C-alpha cells in the first residue's frame, strides 16, 4: 500500500509519515512548504512540492506514485487568523479538500483519512464531548473543518470512498526533530518559547466559568496523533471506514495547570501576562475517546508533562535525573543509525519504559522507532489480544495466575510460544526498516519473535532484550538474543538460571521529571492536589487499568491509622465511583503529573512492581507491595523484595508496622538508597554500545 500524505512536511504530518514508515508502508508527501519543513521528510520519501489546492498536481502525484490512499493534513489552523481572514481559510481548507477529493475520484483512489478538529464542536456543554455531539463551530476555522467533513462524507457515498475522520484536540509535544524549530500559536509551544526567552507567557482570559478562570483544553501528544492515523489506515485497509473519531487524552487541563507544569519542568518561577479573551475561544473542550479505543484499539500513551518536557528539551536539552551532563561526542551513535524498540500496548508500564529508552537513545544520536509488537498480527486480532489480556487480568485474575504459574513450571513453555509465533516472524521482518542497526525487545513475545530470527541469520543486526520486569518469566528468554538487560543482580540470576546468554545488570530508567523532592515541593504538591498539609499520606496505585484489590487495600491502609490513602484509579471509572461512595481517603481519577503527586506523599503502596514503583524509587519514595496481582505481580514482588527495593507485606496484620517502618524507620532509608541505586546505571548505554560495537566489527579494517 502507498499512502499520499498532504502536508507531510508539517508538524503533525512529519510524525504521521514516520509512524507509517515504521509499519513498512510506502509513503509520498505533497506539501507546498509554505509552512512545512523539508527536513521533516525522510530522504527515502518522495516529496512533491505543490499546493493542495492544485488539483492537477494532486492528480499527478496519485498517478505517478501509484497511490492507494490519502491522508489529508494540509491546511491552515489558527483560530485567531481565521477570524481575521475568513476567506483565506475557506479558500485553502475547503478548496484544498475539494481538490483532493476530485483528484481521488478521477483516478480511482478509494481510501482517505481526513484531518479534522475539535473546533467543529464549538462551545459544547458537559464534561466531555463525544462524536455524536451536534457540531456548532464558533469560528471560521472550525467551520472549514466541518464543511470538509461534509464533503468527504458526501463524496464517500457518491464514489465509494472508504474514509475515517479524525478530530484532533490540542496537539503538543515533539514528533520529528528538525534543525528548524517550529513556531505556532498553540499554547504549550508558545508558552515554553516565552519562558525560555525570559518573557511572560500570555493567558487570554482569566474570567471563564472554570475552576481557575482559564480555558480548559484536552492536550494530546503529536506521537499519539500519529498513532491514531496508523490505526485509521489499518482499519481502512481491512475494509472498515465511514467513521468519525475524537483524538485526545480524555482529560482536561486548564491554561493555569499547563503553566504550573511548565514551572515544574523548567524550574523557572515566571509570572504570566493576563489579556482579554480571544474571540471564538470556548471555555472548556475535552474529548471522549471511548469510541476510538473501542473500535480502533487506540489510546493515548503520553501525558501533559511529557508534552511540556518534550517542548523544553527541543529548545534547551536537559540532563536526565542523574544529572550526568551532555553526552560526549565520543559516546554518540552514528547520526541517523536506526534502532527499533519492540513493545506492546498492554498497559502504561511497557509504554513508559520503551518511551524513555527511545528518548535516551535519541539523545545519543540514534534514530529510534517504537513498534507495537501486536501489529505483527492480522488487523483486529491485536485489539482482541489486548482486550482478552485485560479482561482476564481484571475479571478472572486466578485464571491469569494459573496460566502464568503453569508457564513457569512447564519446561516447554518458551519453545511452544516460539512455535506458535512462527507465522508472525515474516511479518515482523517486513515491518523492520531496511536500515535497522539494532532491535530491542521490551516485551516477552517480542523476544520469542526476534530471538529465532537472529539465531537463523534472518536478522543480521544485534538483538537485545530489555527485561522490564524484575521477576524473569521463562517466556522472556529466547535463544539468539545477544544481550539481556536486567534491573538488578537478583533479576540477572533468574535470567541466567533460565539459560539466557550475556545477561548484564543495566539498572532502570524513568522520565527525568521523577527526582527526590524538597520539603517545600512537598508542601506545594499537597496544595496543588488539595491534600492535607500534615499527616502521613500513602499513595495507592494499580496501573493504568486500576487492576487488583484496590478498594480493599485502601480500606486496609485507612484501618491502620498510620497513613491516609490517596488512591489513583487511572482509567477505571467504576473503581473511582465505588471509592467515592465509600469515602475512604482521597480518591483521584487519571493523574497526568505523577511526579508532583509523589512529592506530596510519604510512601507508595502498589501491587504489580511496574513502572510506577520505579518512578517512586527515583523520587526517593519508599515502596510497599501489598496484595500483588496474580502472575507477574507476585513474581515481581518476590524478586524486588529480595533486592531490598520494596517491602512485601503478606498479611494485613503486618501492614501498620511496615508502613511505620518504611516511612520513619531505618529500613525505609535503606530501601530508598537501594531504589535510587538502580538509576546509577543506564540500559540505553548497554544498547548503544552493543549496536556501535556491532557496527565497528562490520567495517573492514583498511590496514588489514
Task: List the catalytic residues.
Answer: 141
Rounded distance, CA 246 to CA 6, Å? 20
> Which residues does 155 contact at the CB level (< 8 Å), separation at least 6?
101, 104, 105, 161
In the 8-state DSSP scheme, what is residue 296?
H
The candidate with the shortest Cα–Cα distance to 111, out of 195, 23, 229, is 229
> Which residues does 278 contact at the CB level (< 8 Å), separation at least 6?
79, 80, 204, 205
Helix, strand or coil, per DSSP, at residue 287: strand
Rounded distance, CA 503 to CA 56, Å? 58
**DSSP H helical segments within 396-540, as ranges?**
397-409, 413-421, 425-431, 444-456, 489-497, 519-528
Distances (CA, A) of 105 to 119, 144, 162, 244, 436: 28, 21, 12, 21, 37
Rounded distance, CA 13 to CA 30, Å? 10
Rounded distance, CA 620 to CA 618, Å? 5
Helix, strand or coil, per DSSP, at residue 332: coil
Report the C-alpha dihedral over residues 557, 563, 568, 569, rounded to 10 degrees.
Answer: 30
> Which residues does 414 contact at the CB level (< 8 Å), separation at least 6?
448, 474, 475, 477, 478
| Cβ proximity of 446 and 342 under 8 Å | yes
Exposed, middle or buried by CB within 10 Å (0-12, 13-18, 19+), for 34? exposed
Q: In terms of residues, how long is the chain?
A: 704
In the 8-state DSSP scheme, what is residue 354?
H
DSSP 15-83: HHHHHHHHTT-EEEEE---SS--GGGS-TTS-EE---TT-HHHHHHHHHHTT--EEEE--S---HHHHH
**DSSP H helical segments within 529-584, as ranges?**
550-560, 573-582
Rounded distance, CA 687 to CA 465, Å? 9
The candidate with the shortest Cα–Cα distance to 302, out of 234, 250, 242, 239, is 250
**DSSP H helical segments within 160-284, as ranges?**
187-196, 222-237, 255-266
Rounded distance, CA 94 to CA 143, Å? 9
The candidate with the shortest Cα–Cα distance to 591, out of 284, 295, 243, 305, is 305
Amino acid at each position: 500500500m502507498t499512502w499520499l500524505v498532504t502536508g507531510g512536511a508539517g508538524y503533525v504530518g512529519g510524525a504521521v509519515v514516520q509512524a507509517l514508515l515504521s509499519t513498512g508502508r510506502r509513503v509520498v508527501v505533497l506539501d507546498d512548504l509554505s509552512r512545512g519543513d523539508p527536513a521533516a521528510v525522510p530522504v527515502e520519501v518522495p516529496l512533491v512540492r505543490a499546493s493542495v489546492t492544485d488539483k492537477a498536481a494532486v492528480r499527478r502525484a496519485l498517478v505517478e506514485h501509484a497511490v492507494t490512499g490519502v491522508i489529508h493534513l494540509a491546511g491552515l489552523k489558527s483560530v485567531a487568523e481565521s477570524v481575521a481572514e475568513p476567506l483565506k481559510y475557506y479558500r485553502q481548507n475547503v478548496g484544498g479538500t475539494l481538490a483532493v477529493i476530485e483528484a481521488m475520484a478521477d483516478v480511482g483512489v478509494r481510501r482517505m483519512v481526513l484531518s479534522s478538529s475539535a473546533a467543529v464542536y464549538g462551545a459544547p456543554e458537559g464534561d466531555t464531548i463525544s462524536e455524536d455531539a451536534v457540531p456548532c463551530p464558533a469560528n471560521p476555522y472550525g467551520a472549514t473543518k466541518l464543511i470538509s467533513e461534509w464533503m468527504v462524507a458526501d463524496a464517500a457515498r457518491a464514489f465509494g470512498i472508504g474514509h475515517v475522520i479524525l478530530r484532533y484536540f490540542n496537539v503538543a509535544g515533539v514528533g520529528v526533530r528538525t534543525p528548524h524549530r517550529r513556531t505556532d500559536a498553540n499554547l504549550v509551544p508558545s508558552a515554553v518559547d516565552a519562558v525560555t526567552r525570559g518573557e511572560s507567557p500570555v493567558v487570554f482570559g482569566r474570567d471563564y466559568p472554570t475552576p481557575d478562570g482559564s480555558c480548559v483544553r484536552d492536550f494530546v501528544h503529536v506521537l499519539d496523533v500519529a498513532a491514531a492515523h496508523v490505526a485509521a489506515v489499518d482499519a481502512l485497509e481491512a475494509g472498515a471506514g465511514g467513521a468519525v473519531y475524537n483524538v485526545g487524552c480524555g482529560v482536561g487541563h486548564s491554561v493555569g495547570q499547563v503553566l504550573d507544569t511548565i514551572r515544574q519542568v523548567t524550574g523557572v518561577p515566571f509570572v504570566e501576562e493576563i489579556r482579554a479573551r480571544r474571540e471564538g475561544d470556548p471555555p472548556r473542550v475535552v474529548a471522549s475517546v471511548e469510541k476510538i479505543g473501542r473500535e480502533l484499539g487506540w489510546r493515548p500513551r503520553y501525558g501533559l508533562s511529557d508534552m511540556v518536557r518534550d517542548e523544553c528539551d527541543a529548545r534547551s536539552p536537559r540532563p536526565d535525573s542523574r544529572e550526568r551532563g551532555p553526552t560526549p561526542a565520543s559516546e554518540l551513535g552514528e547520526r541517523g543509525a536506526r534502532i527499533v524498540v519492540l513493545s506492546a500496548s498492554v498497559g502504561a508500564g511497557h509504554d513508559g519504559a520503551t518511551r524513555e529508552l527511545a528518548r535516551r537513545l535519541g539523545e545519543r544520536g540514534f534514530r529510534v522507532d517504537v513498534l507495537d509488537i501486536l501489529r505483527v498480527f492480522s488487523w483486529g486480532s491485536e485489539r482482541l489480544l489486548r482486550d482478552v489480556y485485560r479482561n482476564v487480568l481484571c475479571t478472572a485474575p486466578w485464571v491469569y495466575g494459573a496460566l502464568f504459574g503453569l508457564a513457569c513450571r512447564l519446561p516447554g513453555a518458551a519453545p511452544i510460544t516460539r512455535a506458535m509465533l512462527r507465522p508472525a516472524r515474516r511479518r515482523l521482518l517486513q515491518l523492520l526498516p531496511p536500515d535497522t542497526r539494532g532491535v530491542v525487545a521490551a516485551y516477552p513475545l517480542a523476544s520469542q519473535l526476534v530471538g529465532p530470527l537472529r539465531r537463523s541469520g534472518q536478522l543480521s543486526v544485534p538483538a537485545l532484550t530489555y527485561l522490564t520486569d524484575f521477576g524473569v518469566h521463562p517466556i522472556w528468554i529466547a535463544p539468539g538474543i545477544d544481550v539481556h538487560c536486567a534491573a538488578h543482580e537478583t533479576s540477572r540470576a533468574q535470567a541466567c538460571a533460565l539459560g539466557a546468554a550475556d545477561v548484564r545488570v543495566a539498572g532502570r530508567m524513568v522520565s527525568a521529571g521523577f527526582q527526590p523532592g524538597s520539603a517545600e515541593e512537598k508542601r506545594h504538591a499537597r496544595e496543588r492536589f488539595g491534600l492535607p498539609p500534615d499527616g502521613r499520606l500513602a499513595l495507592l496505585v494499580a496501573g493504568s487499568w486500576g487492576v487488583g484489590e484496590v478498594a480493599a487495600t485502601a480500606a486496609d491502609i485507612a484501618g491502620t491509622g498510620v497513613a491516609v490513602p490517596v488512591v489513583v484509579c487511572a482509567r477505571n471509572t467504576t473503581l473511582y465511583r465505588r471509592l467515592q461512595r465509600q469515602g475512604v481517603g482521597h480518591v483521584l481519577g487519571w493523574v497526568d503529573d505523577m511526579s508532583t503527586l509523589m512529592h506530596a506523599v510519604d510512601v507508595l503502596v502498589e501491587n504489580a512492581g511496574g513502572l510506577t514503583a520505579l518512578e517512586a524509587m527515583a523520587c526517593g519514595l519508599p515502596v510497599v507491595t501489598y496484595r500483588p496481582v496474580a502472575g507477574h505481580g507476585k513474581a515481581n514482588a518476590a524478586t524486588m523484595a529480595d533486592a531490598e527495593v520494596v517491602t512485601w507485606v503478606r498479611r494485613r496484620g503486618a501492614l501498620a508496622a511496615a508502613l511505620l517502618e518504611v516511612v520513619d524507620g531505618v529500613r525505609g532509608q535503606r530501601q530508598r538508597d537501594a531504589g535510587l541505586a538502580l538509576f546509577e546505571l543506564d540500559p540505553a548505554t548497554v544498547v548503544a554500545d552493543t549496536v556501535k560495537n556491532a557496527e565497528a566489527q562490520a567495517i573492514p579494517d583498511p590496514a588489514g
